[in-house]
Amino acid sequence: MASSSTSSVHKSFKYEVFLSFRGEDTRKNFVDHLYDALQRKSILTYKDDLEIKKGERISDELLGSIENSKFYIIVFSKDYASSSWCLDELVKIMECRKMTEHTAYPIFYDVEPTEVRKQIGAVGKAFAKHEKEVAAGKWRNALKEAADLAGWELKKTADGHESQFIQKIVEEVSLELRSINFSIDEKLVGMETRVNDVISFLETGIDDVRMIGIKGMGGGGKTTLARAVFDQISFQFEGKSFVENVREVSNDSLSGMKSLQNQLLSDVLNDKGISVSSVYDGKNMLKRRMSGRKALLVLDDVDHIDQLEALAGERNWFKPGSRIIITTRYEQVLVAHCVKLIHNVNLLSDKEAICLFSRYAFGREIPIQGYEKLSGEVVRYASGLPLTIKVLGSFLCGKDESEWIDALERLRTIPLHETLKRLELSYISLEEDYKEIFLNVACLLKGWAKADAIEALESCGLHARNGLRVLEQKSLITINNYERVDMHDHIEEMGRDIVRRSRPANKHSRLWKEDEIEDILINDLGTEATICMKIYKSKLNPEIVMKGLRKMKDLTFLEVSLENFNSNQETNKLIPNLVNALGFLCCIWKFNKVNLFFPDTLRYLHWDQYPFRTLPQTFQANNLVSLKIAGSEILQLWEWGERKVCNKLRFLDLSNSQLKTLDLGLTPNLETLTLERCCALIELSDSICMLKHLKSLKLDGCSLLEKLPEDLGLLESLVKLSLSYTEIKHLPNSICMLKHLKFLKLDRCSLLKKLPEHLGQLESLEKLNLSYTEITHLPDSICMLKHLKYLDLNECSLLEKLPEDLGLLESLQYLELSGTMIKHLPCSVCTLKHLKYIGLHRCSLFEKLPEDLGGLECLERIILRSTKIKHLPDSICMLKHLELLPLNDCLLLEKLPEDLGRLECLEMLNLSSTKIKHLPDSICMLKHLKHLVLYPCLLLEKLPEDLGRLGCLEYLNLSSTKIKLLPDSICVLKHLKYLKLDKCLLLEKLPEDLGLIECLESLDLSNTMIKHLPDSICMLKHMKTLDLYRCSFLDKLPEDLGRLECLEYLNLSSTKIKHLPCNICMLKGLKYLKLDKCSLFEKLPEDLGRLECIKSLDLSNTMLKHLPDSICMLKHLESLKLIDCSLLETLPEDLGLLECLEELHIEGTCISHLPQSIILLKGLCIYGSRGLLQSFGFTSDIQISGDGMVCYVKV
């Protein structure tokens, strides 16, 4: 049964700080001052000489006080280790730190961390008297462990000034406590990042009046977030008020708004006697009296501008420094009140949702054993909505497994009432036509592209654009990054629940559930109530679908997607007919014409792979606005070529059909015609030229289409013409009459060699794609295209020259010339003031840039890689917005402009495989440079001394250069994450302060002459990868290497390392350790088993004689390689405890037997000698590998 515990997840502590110190050393000076400073900050602190009552056993009380303290501050002094009392105290502190929610901070008062860690110097003398005591071992370990923690060292902080030192300690502890205790709700999850985001908006240090909105759907955590922020920062204000339920209270009664004004004034002014006589009086009082106090206000759940005008009408009502936080579902309310800072509440991630649910269901961070899968199902249902998670967690708390299963089954059919009730408030406030749009999205259109949704909604006579905008502002839908209409699962559920309230199913206005639709259609139960129906991946017989529509007299929206049939199905009416002439398989439906029917009320019809060759004879289509039957068997719209007028038809999609020709004379209002991939289409009827309203014509992939109608230019409304992958050889001259054409796609028209000479008459053209065509030149008139923004000539391999007046394309932003035979750019190109991108990649003949290139003041990217460029013009340094400059594989480039540092926005500079010998000193002025690649600049010997001024640099690749040393300033690169120095064969030394590169994650020193690593490298707290492969002069690692707490990959192969530092076993995240070919390596640490995350351990070709027994504790070890460890004779007997081990290599060792426990390792591959494996009984499944070794695979 799931635990019904309702105890707090976070432990409640009696003390916030426990002070551990040796009284004789520091009680009357440093500790006394520290204690007073903590008390002044109201931090509840335990100090033994104040807290222990007379007559009580001190040691027992101390143990209890340690367990009941959140933070430990350990003051290490010279004689601390002489006290067994202090040492026992320290052991207990370290134990508590490991097991529960405690944090320990060491303070090195008059000793150094190394003295404590190694028990040398003053600490060693103090500890000497305990050497023979039984507890000496655990005391040593506790000292070592404590010294490895992040703490404070007096002589290195605040210049040794004790008062400043104490102030710093107290400030940091205070901040830690505040971040832990920032909210009264102990079950908050994932709130820290969200709170910090809002606080960054508030900028409480700035002396202005600021309003910010927190917007999101109902139950999404807006109030919880606002409360958490309020609790965290309210201490900074002179007055504060959290006004809850503004919507509900203000609408509840005539006096509701007055009561809210009363509350706000009373809270902020701390005056309970205030009484507001009217809303108008309240406004005046707020305006008059709020200006005297710096206030923090939260106005929660606002839904109307009147509420904001009554409670926070103007910013000048408030004293500078005041902050007003407004939570709402309706963005328009914030916009109307000129609130410009709006924070959208993100729903919970899967991990956060599991944690929150577990806190309510189990009173802990994770599900209890046996309930993991069920908890996952609940969380998936909740879809990140905190309200649902809390309600379900509380509901399921204490219930057994069968009750959980019943609850989940019920949720699949009956939505959670409490959630839907809260969410439906947003729906109720909508106007009637917007309610229709909302229900259509919830039942039918979720996930659709916005443009397609607008088309469908407009087809149904709804004002789609305004409607979707209103729904988005009210947090009922979102338009995602891919321009698709999205909606939270529970809002979708709420909308569908509204529709389902009409019973039975055939009375629903909208149908989308497969089982309900099948029942209605098969049993002919359709009614006039149904106006929209979506049939998705149904196995229904298409003829049954058509027949079942007869009673749906008011059906306006129909979307059908049926699964494929075969001739053995129950109706036996689908006759396979393989049609190979078109290069694909299709099926023709043999049908009874009488059963084919579409109601004439249909306005939107979408049927993918429509199985009939024509539309039903009885269908008049006089209301049809959108017809989409892509991938259909349609040969012609109407049987026997009947001509029916479709005056309302605006959108027609017959893509991927067998259509050979199309008469469009009876669709005069057509706006969009899509015939993509109609591989049988040979020509377009001249009737298309009569479509005065046609805006989009898509013919991509019509691979037999060779020509267009000569009068195509009569399509006076055409905006988009797409002809990609056709066999078009030329464009009709009349195309130049298309005054509204904005987009012309001709890419991969492999037979197109020439453009009309008067192309420049396309005065609205914005995008022209000619990539992969056979174009040999551009007409001069192209330079008249004043609105052209995008010109793509990629891989026009016959194009050698551009028009000289290209600079007249005053709107051009994107110019792609990669893969052409262009040798140079016309000088006029430098006048293109809006040009952002030039692509010259693989222009193998391109040699020179215009000298006035700096005139391209908006240029952000110029791609010059693999060109014959020898130098860059000095004017390039004037490109203030240039972000990317890839010059890789410019094999003739020897020098950079001296003023390159003036490229103030440059983020990426790639000089790989150039002949660059040195970098200009000005490069150090590139304040935004993030990515610098110099691999392999074989002639580069030196870096600028001020390289450290590249404050944003994240990636620096110096591989295979002739660099001998790095400038010391490199150590101040605070954002550097990746430093590659592999194959720098002359590099012998690293800067001593390398550890100051605090963000460094990856350091590659392989194949260098490095002899030692600076001790400071151990300060790199974010280091994940350290590669020292073939550093053949390296014989020692820093003793504190174990402080690299994030290290995952350590490669020491082919070095002269003899042993590993003892504290390497503190690398809890290490996954890969390579020591192969370390020919002097003899011994592993005895506590190697502490490397709990290790997956791969390669010890091949070392001098190892034995493996420590603790290796058997490596629960995640998958690969253990001991190849050619010729001195190794035995394996640990408990090797079978390595439950994840997949491969064990023992070739070339002296191992004579395998431990019996190895049989526990199912799936293990053992690579060793034939004799050894056979002697262990492995005989039946021996496989001989190429080198004569033997691999046994145990299944």
Question: Is 823 within 8 Å of 846 (Cβ atoms)?
Answer: yes
Confirm whether 89 is a catalytic residue: yes
**How many C-alpha atoms does 898 have within 13 Å on its Cβ side?**
0
As a whole number of angstroms, the distance between CA 106 and CA 123 comes to 14
DSSP 499-553: HHTSSSGGG-SEE--HHHHHHHHHTT---TT--EEEEEEE---HHHHHHHTTT-T
263 Cβ partners below 8 Å, 6+ apart?
241, 243
As a whole number of angstroms, the distance between CA 1074 and CA 1061 comes to 15
DSSP 889-932: T-TT-----TTGGG-TT--EEE-TTS------GGGGG-TT--EE
Question: Is 1053 within 8 Å of 1075 (Cβ atoms)?
Answer: yes
Q: What are phi and psi of 411, to 5 degrees?
A: -65, -25
As a whole number of angstroms, the distance between CA 1045 and CA 1059 comes to 20
* 684 burial via Cβ count (<10 Å: 0-12, 13-18, 19+): buried
* Three-state helix/strand/coil letters over 975-1032: CCCEEECCCCCCCCCCCCCHHHCCCCCEEECCCCCCCCCCHHHHHCCCCCEEECCCCC
As a whole number of angstroms, the distance between CA 662 and CA 641 comes to 10
As a whole number of angstroms, the distance between CA 1116 and CA 550 comes to 64
In 3D space, the residue among 188, 228, 182 whose CA is nearest the CA of residue 365 turns out to be 188
Q: What are phi and psi of 627, to 5 degrees?
A: -125, 115
Q: Which of 51, 56, 67, 89 is catalytic?
A: 89
Helix (H) or strand (E) holding 606: strand 604-607
As a whole number of angstroms, the distance between CA 892 and CA 894 comes to 6
Burial 190-212 (b: 16+ CB within 10 A, else e): bbeebbeebeebbeeeeeebbbb
As a whole number of angstroms, the distance between CA 833 and CA 813 comes to 9
**DSSP E strand boundaries for 316-435:** 323-328, 341-344
In 3D space, the residue among 383, 382, 421, 375 whose CA is nearest the CA of residue 399 turns out to be 375
Give the N- to C-terminal CA distance of the chain in Å, as an integer: 37
As a whole number of angstroms, the distance between CA 68 and CA 11 comes to 9
Give the 3-state secondary structure of residue 1088. Answer: helix
CA distances 516 to 521, 540, 608, 695, Å, are: 9, 12, 21, 39
Question: Is 864 within 8 Å of 886 (Cβ atoms)?
Answer: yes
Helix (H) or strand (E) holding 280: helix 279-289
Question: Is 727 within 8 Å of 706 (Cβ atoms)?
Answer: yes
416 Cβ partners below 8 Å, 6+ apart?
388, 391, 392, 490
In 3D space, the residue among 503, 536, 530, 532 whose CA is nearest the CA of residue 518 turns out to be 536
Q: Percentage helix, strand, coil, to 5, in the chain? A: 35, 15, 50
Residue 672 β-bridge partners? 651, 696
* 108 burial via Cβ count (<10 Å: 0-12, 13-18, 19+): buried
Helix (H) or strand (E) holding 1098: strand 1096-1098
Question: Is 675 within 8 Å of 652 (Cβ atoms)?
Answer: no
Which residues carry out catalysis? Answer: 89
